[in-house]
A = this chain, B = another copy of it.
Amino acid sequence: MTSDTPRPALTRDRIVQAAVALIEREGAEALSMRRVAAELDVAVMSLYNHVPNKTALLEGVAERVVEGLELGDDPGRSWQEGARALVRAFRKVAHDYPRCMTIVLTHKVDTAAGLRPMERALALADAAGFDAETAVRTMRALLAYAIGAQVREVGMEKMLGHLAETGAESWNRLDPEEFPHVIAYGPQLAAHDPESDFEFGLDLLIAALEALPRRPAGKPGPGTG
């Protein structure tokens, strides 16, 4: 009876996979080593043969998620389109793994997977003709917006969900003296279209970048191709 219970062999990959699935299904605070073990039909301590501790597991989750970034190559397009595609790729994984995003944003990703998007952003800024310092700052500004847009969106959804529970009475209780604009813009605030909101801010940044000084064109950037 060698293959009596042919379980597919416990692996760090399978553990991380199960953790991601569990988080997406029940939320990040529902993740525990015991729950993951149960998910894999395995004893708790068996996990520790492949993962040193829970923090490392969470780092693995973060890494797995950022690996999902689809940065297509397509060298034909402009740097503007490339930058848009990159930021949109970030948004896409954030949309695919919404509940894992908290983990990604609060844990380091020290593998090559974490650096790949940065490399891409710097390459784009270089292609746009920015000097080194501006390139780095551009990358940081775009990353900041990509992150913040997502955090703001999920925070807003949580807020709206809470408001939906308590009913619309909360809005009516607002002091018109203190919050005239919030009340006046109520319709626009309530009808939120995350997609176009996101594109609005992205357009702002790209437009501002286009107005920045750049070196002529086709020049000594460090890129190899």
Interface of A with B (CB < 8 Å)? 102, 105-106, 108, 110, 112, 115-116, 118-119, 122-123, 126, 132-133, 135-137, 140-141, 143-149, 151-152, 155, 158-159, 162-163, 170, 174-175, 177-185, 187-189, 196-197, 200-201, 203-205, 207-209, 211, 221-224
A200 to chain B: which residues have CB within 8 Å? 137, 140-141
B205–A108 touching, CB < 8 Å:
no
| Total identical chains | 2
Q: How far is the CB of A207 from chain B (nearest CB, A)?
A: 5
Q: How far is the CB of A82 from chain B (nearest CB, A)?
A: 13
Q: Which 7 A-B pairs have the closest CB atoms?
A: A148-B148, A184-B222, A141-B201, A122-B181, A144-B148, A204-B208, A147-B148
> Of the candidates B110, B196, B205, which one forms a contact with A159 in the assembled complex, judged by CB atoms under 8 Å apart?
B110
A119–B179 touching, CB < 8 Å:
yes
Q: How far is the CB of A111 from chain B (nearest CB, A)?
A: 10
A211–B201 touching, CB < 8 Å:
no
